[in-house]
Amino acid sequence: MIQLIEVVKNSRDYELREVFVNPTHVVMLREDHATRSAINEGKVLDGVDPRQKYTRVTVHNGTTGSQFIVVGAPGLIETKLKSGKQLLNG
């Protein structure tokens, strides 16, 4: 399992929390420009660097999939997931 930081939308704002992901279930990573735009407009996550990138992660869990947004560029998230796969298989 790999620990990532998830961006979660509440009723009025956003918050960060830990999420643990099984790298073998990740099927897609895509940069999430909407979250970055919202932060640059000052709508969410006060104090977060506006240069920060966010990734939408899609995981397959049986017959369905789910998506969530995590802190970090897709390349960084991919590196974390790959290092986790090596540890799980090694």
pLDDT tens per residue across span 5-33: 998 887 777 788 999 999 989 999 999 99
As a whole number, mean pLDDT of residues 76-84 equals 89
H/E run at residue 86: helix 74-89
Contact present, 32 and 87 (Cβ < 8 Å)? no
Contact present, 77 and 55 (Cβ < 8 Å)? yes
Residue 89 binned pLDDT confidence (cut-offs 50, 70, 90): very low
- DSSP 3-state assignment of 33? helix
Residue 90 binned pLDDT confidence (cut-offs 50, 70, 90): very low
Q: Indicate whether 75 pLDDT > 70.
A: yes
Write down the residue that tokens 């290092």 correspond to. Answer: 83
